[in-house]
Amino acid sequence: MAIEVQFLIASFLAFTAVFLGIKLGQALYD
């Protein structure tokens, strides 16, 4: 159970990091 929760949190953080990275990249190269 705890492992699944940690996996969900890690996935959410990774998705957020990628999303922010794309947004930042678009802002820099715009």
Q: What is the pLDDT of residue 29?
A: 86
Q: What is the pLDDT of residue 2?
A: 84
pTM of the model: 0.64
Domains of the chain: which residue ranges? Answer: 1-30
Which DSSP symbol is given to 28? H
Measured over all CA atoms, what is the biggest interatomic distance in the chain, rounded to whole angstroms?
43
Q: What is the pLDDT of residue 16?
A: 98
Q: What secondary structure does DSSP assign to 5-27, as a single string?
A: HHHHHHHHHHHHHHHHHHHHHHH
Which DSSP symbol is given to 1? -
- Per-residue pLDDT of 1-30, as tens digits, reads 688 999 999 999 999 999 999 999 999 887
